[in-house]
Structure 1
Amino acid sequence: MFEHAQGFTVSGGTFINSVDNFMEKLLEKTLLGAAFDSSARDPPPRCHPGTRLAILQRCLDFILNCTDTQKIRWVVGAAGVGKSAIMQSVAESDLPPVIWRASIFFSTAGRNDGTKAIITLVYQLAAKCEPYREFVEHEIARDPSLLQSLLLVQFNKFIVEPFIHHPHLTSAGRTLIIIDGLDECDHSRTQRVLLQLISDFCLKYPSSPIVWMIASRPEPHITSFFAKSSVEAVYEKEEVLVDSDEAREDVERFLRNELTRIQDEFSLSPESQWPSEQDFWKLANASGGLFVYAHTVIKYIGDPDFGNPTSQVNSVLKVIEAHPLPNVSREQHPMAQLDALYAQILSKVPDSIMVDTRKLLLMLAVGWGGSFMVLCNWLGMTREDAYAAIRHLRSVIDVPNYDNAHYATLRSF
């Protein structure tokens, strides 16, 4: 009855699926939790409905219509402008010509090992494409050291060779590869190596089916790479500005929708506008086009631990009025208002637990990627003490569910 069966071995009377075994071993070499649909990123940042429509359309049009060598779209902008939300929305978009897609969402919170970048993409593509998986499995069985090879070797073997010389892959359709947060990859040299490999690939193989979406902050070494004349032909730049008219309109729409949601959720003055139009515009003007500020404001106002959104709105307005910043350029100092808001949020933490709060924030700042309970044990805190220390910080920290603390990690927004 096993006449046509493949990919199985028998060991001691037990059937072993070698395909599953291979994929499990390959998974161990990847950057866990980096894919766009990984539970480690749940809930991922997404564009609020009705926002970023123009940018998203330009990105999708590029993916569908790019030709020849120009197959990289560089999405660049300061921290907090919503690049990851844009990339997440692109990754989730319905794109019929795109047959396969793979993604890496780098993060300093434990997902920043650039040496695993290629194998991470390889695993995702192998899980979706049988001819590609067979190719990868055959090559690794022949030379297991490929899993520890240089990025250059892995790129040539697992990207160049199959997607340029394998007929099942070259003729199947477009493949989309998304790399978000490149600047959060652990070493600037690794970031440049990845950029060089991708740009050289686009230049040398203009008929390649792969389209690359790369997002980063405008770090000097990344900006200087894209400024090279030898790279100009391979990419289009999508700059996400801090305070453009488009960004401000999107932030205003986000604030209105979310404040309405909070009003309904807390049954606040259903017959009248809340907050007042004047107060709304104070919030909107302070946010400008910076989504991270608007998002933090909404989390702070709607924090269930406080349970008084009106009081929270007044608290934010006091911070805005106390820090008017008339001579501060938003483009040069986009985080000035956000810094003032963070200071206000931290001021709510009682002095009696501030020591524990600072310990947890320090571990978050240095990129702790383990489970919340392991962190508590390492710091010598009970779970109850740790939750008390961060109870007032839900607007700036993704606090894991109490019952899931053994597995979840602490994340900043």
Structure 2
Amino acid sequence: KLMLDSITSSALLNLHDRFDPPQCNENTWVGLLSALKSWIEDQSPMLERLQCIMGSAGMGKSALVQTTTDNIFFLASDPIQNSLQRFIPTIAYQIALSNKSNPALGNCIFRAVDQDPSVFQCSIECQLEELIIKPLQLFSLPSFLYLICIDGLDKCVDQKSQSQLLSII
């Protein structure tokens, strides 16, 4: 319950109220989608695992991200989705529910919340460490790939928050 109160439910994947997410049209962006798939499957060290897709509005970045994977996004018109306050808890919640065949990681994330309910009031860096990094270090499975895509960071109204998120990533 505490975690549900701390996430941005409107940004969750497969939410029934969510608008139809953009998708790439068939046979478009084939080369780039193939390159992204190769990058995702690459086993390079984590420090080399950041990809940034930039372009002007309407270029198809959101469609590319959505076609490639599940994502969390910022919406300028939604006061809950245009700030970092619920960003890390929302990502952690999605990770917790992502591997239904082996719930150990999710249980670790939920246990972290049970052990310290004030984790949602600590800094973004602290939330990242307690809700995502530590659980992934304890329970990462070589056969299970985790990919986190952030779409619409420019819609986060506070530019300081944009910089802060990029810094912790």
The bucket for the TM-score relative to the shorter chain is: 0.7 to 0.9
Paired letter, 2:134: E
Alignment correspondent of 2:75:
107
1:31 aligns with 2:5: no
Please, which of 117, 135, 140 is the counterpart of residue 162 of structure 1?
135
- Structure 1 residues 114 and 40: alpha-carbon distance in aligned structure 2, compared to 1, 3 A threshold: farther
Unaligned runs of 5+ in 2: none
1:134 paired with 2:107, answer yes
Aligned to 2:150: 179
Aligned match of 1:72: 50
Q: Which has the higher strand share?
A: 1
Q: Deviations over 1:10-44 (max 9, x none)?
A: xxxxxxxxxxxxxx431221112213433333311
Deviation at 1:162, TM superposition (A): 1.7
Q: Percent identity?
A: 28
Tell me, yes or no, if the aligned pair for 1:30 and 1:116 is still in contact at 8 Å.
Answer: yes
How far 1:152 sits from its partner (Å)? 0.7
What per-residue deviation string (whole Å, max 9, x for no partner) do you get for residues 297-332 of structure 1?
Answer: xxxxxxxxxxxxxxxxxxxxxxxxxxxxxxxxxxxx
1:194 to 156, 165, 169: 165
Deviation (angstroms), 1:163? 1.7
- Runs (4+) of structure 1 exceeding 3 A deviation are none
Q: Secondary structure, in 3 states, of the residue corresponding to 1:128?
A: coil
User: 120, 127, 130: which one pairs with 2:90?
Assistant: 120
Whether 1:56 and 2:33 are equivalent positions in the alignment is yes
How far apart are the structure 2 equivalents of 1:186 and 1:116? 14
Structure 1 unaligned residues grouped into runs of 5+: 1-23, 92-101, 199-413
> Shift of residue 72 of structure 1?
0.9
- After TM superposition, the score normalised by the length of structure 2 is 0.87
- Larger RCO (CA under 8 A, 6+ residues apart): 2
Q: TM-score, normalised by structure 1?
A: 0.38
Compared CA separation, residues 143 and 72, structure 1 to 2 (3 A) = same
Task: Provide the rounded CA distance (Å) in 2 between the counterparts of 1:163 and 1:32.
Answer: 22
SS in 2 for 1:25: coil
Instruction: Tell me the secondary structure at the aligned position of residue 85 of structure 2.
Output: helix
Alignment of 1:398-413 (within 5 A): none
- Choose 1 or 2 for highest CA Rg: 1
Partner AA of 1:105 in structure 2:
F
1:40 aligns with 2:8: no
Deviates more, 1:148-157 or 1:105-114: 105-114
Which SS does the other structure have where 1:152 is aligned?
A: helix
Give per-residue Cα distances to partners, 1:383-406, cap 9 Å, x unaligned.
xxxxxxxxxxxxxxxxxxxxxxxx
1:83 is displaced (CA, Å) by 0.5
Helix, strand or coil at the partner of 1:174: coil
The number of residue pairs the alignment matches comes to 163
Decide whether aligned partners of structure 1 residues 113 and 161 sit closer, same or farther in structure 2, where only a CA change above 3 A counts. same
The CA deviation string for residues 242-297 of structure 1, in whole angstroms up to 9 with x for no partner, is xxxxxxxxxxxxxxxxxxxxxxxxxxxxxxxxxxxxxxxxxxxxxxxxxxxxxxxx
Counterpart in 2 of 1:284? none
- For the 8 Å contact 1:33–1:39, the answer to whether it is kept is no
- The one-letter code sitting in structure 2 at the alignment partner of 1:51 is T
SS in 1 for 2:3: helix
Report the Cα offset of residue 172 of structure 1. Answer: 4.3
Partner SS, residue 196 of structure 1: helix
Contact residue 113 and residue 186 of structure 1 kept, 8 A: yes
**Structure 1 CA distance for aligned equivalents of residues 25 and 19 of structure 2:** 16
Residues 232-271 of structure 1: matches in 2 within 5 Å? none
1:13 corresponds to: none
The residue identity in structure 1 corresponding to 2:91 is: L
> What residue is the counterpart of 1:271 in the other structure?
none
Task: Give the 3-state SS of the residue equivalent to 1:73 in structure 2.
Answer: coil
